[in-house]
Structure 1
Amino acid sequence: MDSLLVANFTELSLFECGREKCQPDKRILMDIKPYHIFHYVLYGSGVFILNAKKYFLKKGDLFYVPPGCTAQYYPDPNDPWIYVWIGFNGSRSDDYLNRIGLSIDQPIYHDSKSLELKALFNDLADKYNHSKYLTIESLSVFISILYRMLISNRKKDILLSSKETHIRMAKQFMENNFQFKIKITDIASALSLSPNYLANIFKEQLGITPKEYLTNHRMQKASQYLINSQMSVKEIASKVGYDNALHFSAEFKRIKKVSPTLYQKNNQLSEES
């Protein structure tokens, strides 16, 4: 690979570039480089090994090798890959990579279904092959590649932030209304969400359902009442949204592993002692 440097820009510089159609039996053990390397798979598939982890890649995948690291990669013998590689560095490189989400522990980037990066990587390789050195035009294409990757990752962040916001609003609604006979459909309706969506994001982000969160919150409040008041179990059940004291007691014992009466007695004894 040629290693001719484009004009020495402080924020971002290019060091090498190429496009290769690999032979089915070609295996590469990459030498340590002092700069970052991207490989974008245009066609075919193969295997990439970095930091003792193996990744099976296909068209539209990008794999990243950090500076100072060795890596191995080889094509699928039945579907050998064609890829474009680019070596780069600069004062903003680490910042860009952090924002994109690439690191030694997460070295894979999956292009969108439309493979919007494919044309840009092809254009980058064409510009290099035409001039045989990395020009300012090459740098402009690579900046476009980074920009697309940053925008794509930002959309994921926005989606995640939206989920977190919905969960936070649902929690707030439950904490403000736990004493009433609210259902999950009531919570979803108050937030203009579907019950299925609400259940899915709770399970994804918290590992529990909205109903489990509501029940846990009610039992936490009930625990406080049992310790800090002289109310009966029936009164406390009503305070946390249960018409049926037996149902409340069964739920309390399921979660706290002890009946409300015994919980109250044990805590009162511990306070007295």
Structure 2
Amino acid sequence: MVYNELTERGNENFPVGFYHLDESHPKYIMQHHWHKELEIIRVIKGKLTVYLNNVEIEMTKNDIVFVNPEIVHGAIPDKCVYECMVFDPEKILVCTDDGKNIASGLVNHTLFIYHRIKSDNIALYTTVCKLFNSFSVSDPGYQLSAISSLYELFAVICREKLFTDNTSYSNFLKDKNLIKLKKAIEYMRENYKSQISLDELSKAVDVSPKYFCVIFKGMTGMTAFEYLNAYRIEKASKALISTDMGITEIAFSSGFNDLSYFIKTFKKYKNTTPKLFRNSH
């Protein structure tokens, strides 16, 4: 499974994915990935360190970040509750020429929405909050409210020129180090069940082990093996919730070859044991 993430969002009639994440969520730590859709992240409480390609952003309560299509992104929460909304602009902005032009620019990488929106931008902040709140409540008609808010959101973005249409964004997506990072992430996600060495990873992206470590840490804020272990724990968390497999079996099927190390690593990322995590769900 490669991370170019290919998850379907919502359904055909309402193609929007909404995710509320706290410590109990298997994907609480957002592993680095990318996708063709636009994503909006909002922090409810605590601190969230977000990585967007090689940019690190510290988010706190009420902060909002836009993740443009194809950007490699991940996030490390600290006593945090946060929400994400993911959607394909070309499936949403279909009713007006303005909307179609924005959607085309986003998916073709000729238009780039500025990443960070502070709460002092009242118009945008209010619209984003209204959009997220429509999902939080899920009252009858919430889908209509959400679509209305999405159109209002892009009207504000256009009106206040919260985007750039230069070519630097498109060129950055062709950056050699970014391409190598994506290859490394794909390799780890395809082979996480096996034992992976630094030599394997560096050969997979055709660089020296030393340079590979510099690229990966510089663009993600973590080492490759920290990333790999966190991804394995994410997979183990899903299995604990959705299967009746034994904990030892889950550990080995997630790429760990030592049960005690699996439990230690699980506690590091989840602040609880695998058994207690399963029982809490």
TM category (shorter chain) comes to: 0.3 to 0.5
Larger Rg over CA atoms: 1
TM-score relative to the length of structure 2: 0.38
TM-score relative to the length of structure 1: 0.39
